[in-house]
Structure 1
Amino acid sequence: MAHLDWSAQPATPLVIDGVTLEYQCYGPAPDQAMTIVLLHEGLGCAALWRDFPARLAQRTGMGVLVYSRRGYGQSDPVQLPRPLDFMTREAVDVLPGVLDRAGVRQCILFGHSDGATIAAIYAGSVEDFRVRGLILMAPHFFTEPMGLAEIAKAKQLFETTDMKDRMAKYHRDPEGAFRGWNDVWLDPGFVDWNVAEVIDYLRVPVLAIQGRDDQYGTLAQIEEIETRSYAPVDLAILDDCRHAPQFEQSEAVLAETAEFAARLARIEAAEVVPV
């Protein structure tokens, strides 16, 4: 199978099980360097990372692959309602195909919000030795009342303001993108959702990033990683920062990521000297 067109404006489609996904690539291709795979938040897409992927590639010297999950950005629409375990399904059923199709050899999964959860689920559920590290930014492992309250506010905004029109600038199907996220999180059956057990099975280094003032989750999400992970965990708790550290504290996020990535690269390059 041919690999992706490794460019910011690719001509070759990314098709997984008959579904076409929007994607962009920056920096060196997977056969030249380690790849950072960016997984967007619940209302995100490739375009909504703005210039962060390009800056990340420049700062780390690694390749960066960013794609829009089904139902987001310019990817194919998704059938609603989404199942309550949609993040697990994205991790187990879709992400392996993305990595294969991209020709990834060694990678860091870098997820934001729901994307961070998907990254953690993948690393904790699928044995994939290509994954050398995780960067989990504002992850969710269980629901919290304050986060659900913010999601309820988002529903009100969507229904009473021009939020849908603003989303249409980035999403082919803004209604589907919003409902596919919001309806699941506000479903009564989702209150008890908890996937923290995947942390017990992580076997690669983790960088956990969160804004101290994150409105969608408390530091209990990060503490869960710190207390449960068998693998090494680095923490970056950012002041004056809410749910979007990549924009609100972009320099700090880039610096932390570059240091973490460089350390992983040194480990991969280290020669084992026979005794």
Structure 2
Amino acid sequence: MQIQDTMVSVGNDTSIEVRRIRHEQPTGPTLVFLHESLGNITLWRKFPERLAEATGFDALVYNRLGYGESSDEVLARPYDYLEQHGVVWLPRLLDALSIEDVVLVGHSDGGSIALHAAAAMGVRVRALVTMAAHTYADHLTIKGIQDMKARYRETDLREKLKRYHGARTDDLFRAWHTVWLDEGFLASLDFRQSLDAIECPSLIIQGEDDGYGVPEQVTDIVDGIGETARAVFLPDTGHSPHLERPEQILNLLCDFLPRELGVKSAVIS
């Protein structure tokens, strides 16, 4: 595989930082990884590379606006920022790279963005995988963010995040907790009614010990998508299944994707 980091122009003097993982002869659609609210390319660790190697699919990992070397985002975040990323910015990025068929793999905020994108992009999305996605805010979501806000103020969390976000750390953390604790945002955040537009095979994953979401987040997503969606709950797993249980998640995806896409079975090395 070839791994290349580059900047991609998506118009309006806006650029997005991407990592492309490519095979000489890819065997399926491109895996597109959508990171969490405090994540970035680096914080996916080796997971995208390992899944690309196991499946034979190319992969695209990118930093959303405001993260890494990508252009600044508009702050404060608008209430529809998740939808904007899924319906506007992701398709622009794929168009700029001439990527047509994709499998979306989204974690947390990235999972919610993936749901918006899958609903809007139709057959271009061949399959969907979410981990800890939200379609609304529940009591665990709000408590988890309040607890994280206190940790940021009282512990060394800020310094740990600065290793990955540098000078943007305070802006990113403030943008995240400010919008998610905004009563107007919480009242507007419920896009379950749009899930029936998703027609692709979908694997909806959540850890049973996820401190940011109730189990109904998963069951509501699956019910909203319909018969093409499957729920997976992982015991002894928190908010980041791909980091806490990488082998299990790789096995799940290496079974799910070849079967649903009709391609050669994946192999984990």
Q: Which of 105, 110, 124 is equivalent to 1:130?
A: 124
Cα distance between partner residues in 2 of 1:207 and 1:104? 22
Structure 2 unaligned segments of length 5 or more: list them: 265-269
Where does residue 228 of structure 1 map in the other structure? 224
Cα distance between partner residues in 1 of 2:25 and 2:133? 26
Q: Secondary structure, in 3 states, of the residue corresponding to 2:3? A: coil
Cα distance between partner residues in 2 of 1:140 and 1:225? 8
Where does residue 213 of structure 2 map in the other structure? 217
Where does residue 159 of structure 2 map in the other structure? 165
Q: Secondary structure, in 3 states, of the residue corresponding to 1:168? A: helix
Query: What is the CA-CA distance between 1:32 and the residue it aligns to?
Result: 5.9
Query: What is the CA-CA distance between 1:30 and the residue it aligns to?
Result: 8.9
Cα distance between partner residues in 2 of 1:116 and 1:200? 16
Report the CA distance shift for 1:29/1:213 in structure 2 as closer, same or farther (over 3 A): farther
Q: Which of 160, 176, 183 is equivalent to 1:181?
A: 176
**Identity between Structure 1 and Structure 2 (%):** 34
The answer to whether structure 1 residue 57 and structure 2 residue 31 are counterparts is no
Where does residue 146 of structure 2 map in the other structure? 152
Report the CA distance shift for 1:228/1:134 in structure 2 as closer, same or farther (over 3 A): same
Q: TM-score, normalised by structure 1?
A: 0.89
Query: What is the CA-CA distance between 1:27 and the residue it aligns to?
Result: 3.5
Q: Secondary structure, in 3 states, of the residue corresponding to 1:170? A: helix
Cα distance between partner residues in 2 of 1:61 and 1:71? 31
Q: Contact conserved, 1:40 with 1:114, CA < 8 A, in 2?
A: yes
Query: What is the CA-CA distance between 1:112 and the residue it aligns to?
Result: 0.5
Matched residue count: 261
Where does residue 133 of structure 2 map in the other structure? 139
Q: Which has the higher helix share?
A: 2
Where does residue 99 of structure 1 map in the other structure? 94
Cα distance between partner residues in 1 of 2:208 and 2:196? 24
Query: What is the CA-CA distance between 1:20 and the residue it aligns to?
Result: 2.0
Report the CA distance shift for 1:243/1:224 in structure 2 as closer, same or farther (over 3 A): same
Cα distance between partner residues in 2 of 1:256 and 1:180? 33
Cα distance between partner residues in 2 of 1:30 and 1:71? 33
Report the CA distance shift for 1:187/1:59 in structure 2 as closer, same or farther (over 3 A): same
Structure 1 unaligned segments of length 5 or more: list them: 1-5, 269-275
Cα distance between partner residues in 2 of 1:60 and 1:209? 19
Q: Secondary structure, in 3 states, of the residue corresponding to 2:165? A: coil
Q: TM-score, normalised by structure 2?
A: 0.90
Q: Contact conserved, 1:30 with 1:103, CA < 8 A, in 2?
A: no
Query: What is the CA-CA distance between 1:181 and the residue it aligns to?
Result: 1.3
The answer to whether structure 1 residue 248 and structure 2 residue 239 are counterparts is no
Where does residue 3 of structure 1 map in the other structure? none
Q: Contact conserved, 2:27 with 2:55, CA < 8 A, in 1?
A: no
Report the CA distance shift for 1:68/1:30 in structure 2 as closer, same or farther (over 3 A): farther
Where does residue 72 of structure 2 map in the other structure? 77
Greater Cα offset, 259-268 or 36-45: 259-268
Q: Contact conserved, 1:215 with 1:242, CA < 8 A, in 2?
A: yes
Q: Contact conserved, 2:206 with 2:239, CA < 8 A, in 1?
A: yes
Where does residue 260 of structure 1 map in the other structure? 256
The answer to whether structure 1 residue 90 and structure 2 residue 77 are counterparts is no
Q: Which of 193, 200, 204 is equivalent to 1:204?
A: 200
Q: Contact conserved, 1:212 with 1:239, CA < 8 A, in 2?
A: yes
Query: What is the CA-CA distance between 1:143 and the residue it aligns to?
Result: 0.6
Cα distance between partner residues in 1 of 2:113 and 2:98? 20
